[in-house]
Amino acid sequence: MTGASGAAVRGGARAFAWRGVAALTVLAAVSMSLPQAAHSADAASGANAADAPIAPAEKLMFLTPHLHGVASQTELDYALVVTVPPNKQTDRVRVFVASADNSKSDASVSDGSGKVQLPENLPCNPVILYFLERDIAEMEQATGGQRRYFQQRVRLALAASPPITDATVQLDGKAVKARKIVIQPYLHDPNAQRFPRFTSKRYTFLLADAVPGGVWLLRTDVPGDNDDFAHPLKTESLSYEGSLRKLQPPAQSKPPSPSATPNAPRASR
């Protein structure tokens, strides 16, 4: 990740601490330069979403204790791959779980740019917020729009109760059950003409209880011409690679002070 992208993630991540997590309020009013009617409609829909019950997709993504069962001092490793054919960039993202089950809410995220500041006291795996805020920062940069606008679209798409379907993933050579969520936040966006390249952009989330940290895959796809997802213009994915427990070395004990041997010979007077 570039320094600019890393700074954008660190600066904007707190806004994804959504309903029922850190703030049960609507995200700030859409600040993109929109017609007043569209601005009011989005603000109203955001207010209605805030008052509605939290959707199952939101619960699964943000209110589930994904790090339950993870031992203290464990590092969860993820591969971040950005593909813009024919080029591909990779990075490694690490979630360090300091306390068992993340009971102290002290899990931290780092990537190639260093540690990333994210909201605290959240039950979910913070790598989810990391991935979404990174995506939001890139949308802002690519379109000239405002971060809060894109946050709003993704939030509303999840609040609209998208289907959660059963899936299967491979973990250590074994098939394990997973749950899949797919959203297209900009598909029916009345302002999508301002960024037509991203109108059909698709977000795919695969979560599995058997995977340490609960997250198997987070992915976005920008399709090619005529919504050709088989030949996407851009794909970004964050996928689980493995876990490593980093046991702390035992504390160094002070060596015993030498003591006189009881039967040692004594100097003569």
Confidence of residue 192 (pLDDT cuts 50, 70, 90): confident
Answer for the pair 203, 154: CB distance below 8 angstroms, yes or no. yes
**Burial level of 238, CB count in 10 A (0-12/13-18/19+)?**
buried
Phi, psi of 200 (to 5 degrees): -100, 10
Answer for the pair 75, 124: CB distance below 8 angstroms, yes or no. no
Selected residue with higher pLDDT from 120 and 158: 158
What sign has the CA pseudo-torsion 69, 124, 91, 170? Answer: positive
Q: What is the pLDDT of residues 63-87, one digit of tens each?
A: 999 999 999 999 999 999 999 999 9
Answer for the pair 1, 110: CB distance below 8 angstroms, yes or no. no
Q: What is the mean pLDDT of the chain?
A: 81
**Six-digit token string for 101:** 């089950």
**Worst-scoring range by mean pLDDT, 23-37, 109-123, 165-179, 238-252?**
23-37
Answer for the pair 132, 238: CB distance below 8 angstroms, yes or no. no
pLDDT value for 13: 44
Confidence of residue 36 (pLDDT cuts 50, 70, 90): very low
Confidence of residue 53 (pLDDT cuts 50, 70, 90): confident
**Six-digit token string for 140:** 């802002």
